[in-house]
Amino acid sequence: MFNLFKRIFELIITLIILVFLSPIMMTIALLIRIKLGPSVIFKQRRIGLNRKIFTLYKFRTMNEETDKNKILESDKNRFTKFGNSLRFSSLDELPSLWNVVKGDMSLIGPRPLLEQYLPLYNAHQARRHEIKPGITGWAQINGRNTISWKKRFDLDIWYVDNKSILLDIKIFFKTINKVIKRQGAVYSKKDPTMPLFKGDKDDH
C-alpha cells in the first residue's frame, strides 16, 4: 500500500514540477547547446530497484574536448564553470524527473550509483536496492557528497528501514531548502566528481 501511494503521490508532484520548470529546463538546454556543444542530455547506466540496470538522464555538465589521439580528456579537464554551476545548484538533475515518470526512480530514495559498483557491495550496502533509487534522499540532506561512502550507505539503509510518506515529505522540503542555500555539494576544477567507490567488504 505504501509503494502504491508513494508512486501516485510522486507522479503527481513530478508532473507539476515538470510543467512549472519547463521554461527553465528549455533555457538550460539552450545554454548547454551554446556553451558545451550539441549533446544536451547526459545518459548513464545506473543500478535501480532489485539491482536492475536503467538509463539515468541528466543535463550534460562537461565539454567534449579530446586529446591529440581523439580520446576524451579526463573529467577534470573537461569540467567547466558553467557545468560546475549546474551541478552545484542541482539543476543538472532536472532531466531525472523523466526517470520518475517512467518508473525507474522515485523522487525520494537512495541515489542511483554506477553499474560498475554492483559487484563491490557487501550485504549491508546492497540493501539500498530493496527500494527504488531517488533524485534526493536521506543521505543527500545529511551531507550529500561531503560525507564518506560508509556514512552515505548507512544513511541509505536507515531510510530503507524507516521509510514513510511523512519522512519523504520532510526530505523533499529539506532538499529544496538545501538547494536554495547551496549546501552539501562540493565541486571544483581540481576534483569535480565524487571519489570512486572501491568497495569495502568488511564494512559490516
Would residue 186 count as lying in a domain? no
> Does pLDDT of 193 surpass 70?
no
Would residue 194 count as lying in a domain? no
Would residue 51 count as lying in a domain? yes
> Does pLDDT of 183 surpass 70?
no
Phi, psi of 41 (to 5 degrees): -100, 130
At residue 202, the pLDDT reads 46
The predicted-structure confidence for 24-69, as pLDDT tens digits, reads as follows 999 999 999 998 888 899 999 999 999 999 999 999 988 776 666 6
Task: Tell me the three state secondary structure of residue 42.
Answer: strand
Beta strands 134-136 and 41-47, pairing class: unpaired
Q: Write the CA distances from 39 to 61, 110, 165, 171, integer angstroms.
A: 10, 27, 37, 32
> Does pLDDT of 182 surpass 90?
no
Would residue 87 count as lying in a domain? yes
- State the SS3 of 85-114: HHHHCCHHHHHHHHHHHHCCCEEECCCCCE
> Does pLDDT of 188 surpass 60?
no
Range of the structural domain that residue 118 is part of: 2-181
Would residue 75 count as lying in a domain? yes
At residue 149, the pLDDT reads 93
At residue 91, the pLDDT reads 92
Taking residues 180-184, what's their average pLDDT?
Answer: 69
Residue 198: name the closest of 124, 76, 130, 116 by CA.
Answer: 116
> Does pLDDT of 198 surpass 90?
no
At residue 63, the pLDDT reads 75
The 10 Å Cβ neighbour count of residue 108 is: 28
pLDDT band with cut points at 50, 70 and 90 for residue 80: confident
Would residue 187 count as lying in a domain? no
Would residue 110 count as lying in a domain? yes
The predicted-structure confidence for 127-181, as pLDDT tens digits, reads as follows 999 999 999 999 999 987 788 999 999 999 999 999 999 999 999 999 998 888 7
Would residue 193 count as lying in a domain? no
Q: Alpha-carbon distance 90 to 135, whole Å? A: 10
Q: Alpha-carbon distance 128 to 51, whole Å? A: 9
At residue 181, the pLDDT reads 75
How many domains does one find in the chain?
1
pLDDT band with cut points at 50, 70 and 90 for residue 1: confident
At residue 77, the pLDDT reads 67
